[in-house]
Amino acid sequence: MMLHIPTLLIVAVFVFCLMGLLTVHAWSRGREPTLGYLGIMLLLASLGTGLIVVRGVGMDFVALIIGNVVLLLSAAMNWTAMRAFVQRKPSVPGIFAGCGIWLLMCLVPQFYGSLSARVTLYSVLAASYGVLSAMELWRQRDTLEVAYLPALVLTLLHTLFYGVRAFLDPGMPIKSAQAPGGEGVPFFSFMLFESMLYAIGIAYVTLAMVKERAELRFKAAAFSDALTGIGNRRAFMLKGEKLLADSARRQQSAALLLCDLDHFKRLNDSFGHPMGDQVLIAFSQVTQAALRNGDVFARIGGEEFACLLADADETGAFEVAERIRQAFARLDLLAPGFLSVSIGIVITDEAGHDLSHLLSQADQALYLAKAQGRNRVQGLATA
């Protein structure tokens, strides 16, 4: 079945324009750069396709030169959108390289007069931008944390089409394509159809990726402490209960360290809250350096932190707590004696695997540490 090319051209203009406007609207809601570049890509595709439509009515030069420049800039914006999504800056030379090559080649009479040469070069340049777009997603696949495969597959198929076109499509005069009855070669009509499907598909999957990443960020923010970047109380309770359930199933002991910075109010009053914030950040960094990847660490109160150590006995827990206490005391943020921490320890062998009960027991041990002079590690069994 031969698709009616003049109709496809007009439909393509409106499809690209509509998708571009909707994408720009989505960008305006959250100012996500990826959607901004993608919206520009679609609007440029609409403009470039519109310039193809006006060929054959005395504007062939404008359509041939400017139209293809606009379409190549559209392909470059697709690549730029993927760069923005993977947190890379736009490449200005790369954006204009394709249209620059096109303009230079159009200065060569032999190239300008050869339809097949123009089709081949344009297809190669469009496919090159497709390869670059796919590479952006593939190189960052381990850090994206979103479903990137639909976008990658769509881009590769789009790239494959232009790669095939570069070798198989000899080109056709636009007058033949726009002749009454839609006379023309199937490759040109299929190119328009494929471009519309790609525009709709890539807009949808990119919006889905942006939405998924935003949801992951909101979720991470809900479970992290804004100042120190470590987990908050909610995260500690969630991850801690899972760690304890795994420990109980494997019949392994775990240890809870409850840490409270000594004289923190005095520190804030003497040096100001900005310095207090620096101390909280420094303590979180010191503690993280002393823990293993499988341990759970969070800020559960103003100057109170909790560590849950997997597969740890009393001896191991005291060793970790001492490393934390000594490393914190050695920091040179303030005068000697201002930085110290009291740590209460409880072991699941003594208190069971219920996290709320462990916190209650560890709080008692911490109270004993404070009562006995602070700057010490204290367990209930050693009281």
The residues carrying an active-site annotation are 303
With tokens 């700057």, the residue in question is: 375
Among residues 153, 45, 12, 138, which one has the least CA distance to residue 37?
45
With helix as H, strand as E and coil as C, how does the chain read? Answer: CCCCHHHHHHHHHHHHHHHHHHHHHHHHHHCCHHHHHHHHHHHHHHHHHHHHHCCCCCCHHHHHHHHHHHHHHHHHHHHHHHHHHCCCCCCHHHHHHHHHHHHHHHCCHHHHCCHHHHHHHHHHHHHHHHHHHHHHHHHCHHHHCCCCHHHHHHHHHHHHHHHHHHHHCCCCCHHHHCCCCCCCCHHHHHHHHHHHHHHHHHHHHHHHHHHHHHHHHHHHHHCECCCCCCECHHHHHHHHHHHHHHHHHCCCCCEEEEEEECCHHHHHHHHCHHHHHHHHHHHHHHHHHHCCCCCEEEECCCCEEEEEECCCCHHHHHHHHHHHHHHHHHCCCCCCCCCCEEEEEEEHHHHCCCHHHHHHHHHHHHHHHHHCCCCCEEEHHHC
Do the bridges between strand 304-309 and strand 255-261 make them parallel or antiparallel, or are there none, so unpaired? antiparallel
Q: How far apart are CA 358 and CA 241, in angstroms?
A: 11
Distance of CA 167 to the CA centre of its chain: 36
Contact 328, 336 (CB under 8 A): no
In single-letter form, the type of residue at position 186 comes to: P
Among residues 32, 28, 122, 129, which one has the least CA distance to residue 78?
129
Neighbours of 144 (CB within 10 A): 17
